[in-house]
Amino acid sequence: MTLEILTSDLLSPLRHGFFTRRGGASSGIFEGLNCGLGSSDQRQAVELNRARVAAAMQVSPEHLARVNQVHSADVAVIQEATKPPVSADAMVTNVPGIALSILTADCQPVLFADQEAGVIGAAHAGWRGALDGILEATIDAMVNLGAERERIKAAIGPTISQNAYEVGPEFFEDFMAENPDNARFFANGTGDRFLFDLPGLGLQRLRSAGIAEAEWTRHCTYSDPKRFYSYRRTTHEEQADYGRLMSCIRL
């Protein structure tokens, strides 16, 4: 099956993509394009999936840069993709021929570009990372490489939507303690539950950081099991593990 790659007009003509699970070699609960080396999927299948992504990005698998994602606000500056990955949740580079790759399964994959400066970025932004400033830190790191804040464009790929993201009162209270204005990202759910708007938070943080052009592709990972992996859906279905989607950008 052919790979399915979602793109953003904001980032064109740079080669980039939010890959769905279609077109992969994994089977069982991982059926499709599982790119998560940390999953319990067969290593050979994951490596083959990652090689297919690299080919689509027109780089060798060795030039598919990655980080060990830990829900932090740390950003790695990538000059050589072949170095061992560090613990961080975003990457930036100004080196052509390196594809920055992020793994997600409900969290936000965010791709950035200042095409005129030749600087790109990729971030993994769950609620914790977004609240702690991973998006702003990525933008700052790009500026340090020569990007201009007002020229940077950003696209949020498939992520869990508000209708599928039910949280408890403690979660809501943590956000209120950080900033009462965060109430805009919550809707009333059943009983004492709330529905949380993760991509809404991401877009607000991007725009507050000076990014004039930012968008969400409006794909919900939870609601479309044929196309996307979802940690939350897997948990609700009591499955043993879950696949990881890959998002990439390169100069």
Going from N- to C-terminal start, the domains of the chain cover 5-161+197-245
Instruction: In whole angstroms, give the CA distance from residue 222 to residue 231.
Output: 8
The predicted pLDDT at position 140 comes to 98
The predicted pLDDT at position 84 comes to 84
Strand ranges (E), the chain = 5-6, 16-19, 64-65, 75-77, 90-93, 99-104, 108-114, 119-125, 153-156, 166-167, 186-188, 194-196, 213-216, 245-250
Q: Residues of the chain whose pLDDT is less than 70?
A: 1
The predicted pLDDT at position 48 comes to 98
The predicted pLDDT at position 228 comes to 98
pLDDT in tens, 82-134: 788 999 999 999 999 999 999 999 999 999 999 999 999 999 999 999 999 99
pTM of the model: 0.97
| Structure-block tokens of residue 219 | 């794909």
- CATH number for domain 5-161+197-245, candidates 3.30.70.20, 1.10.520.20, 3.30.70.520, 3.60.140.10: 3.60.140.10
Instruction: In whole angstroms, give the CA distance from residue 226 to residue 115.
Output: 33
The predicted pLDDT at position 82 comes to 78
Instruction: In whole angstroms, give the CA distance from residue 60 to residue 53.
Output: 10
CB 90 within 8 A of CB 124: yes
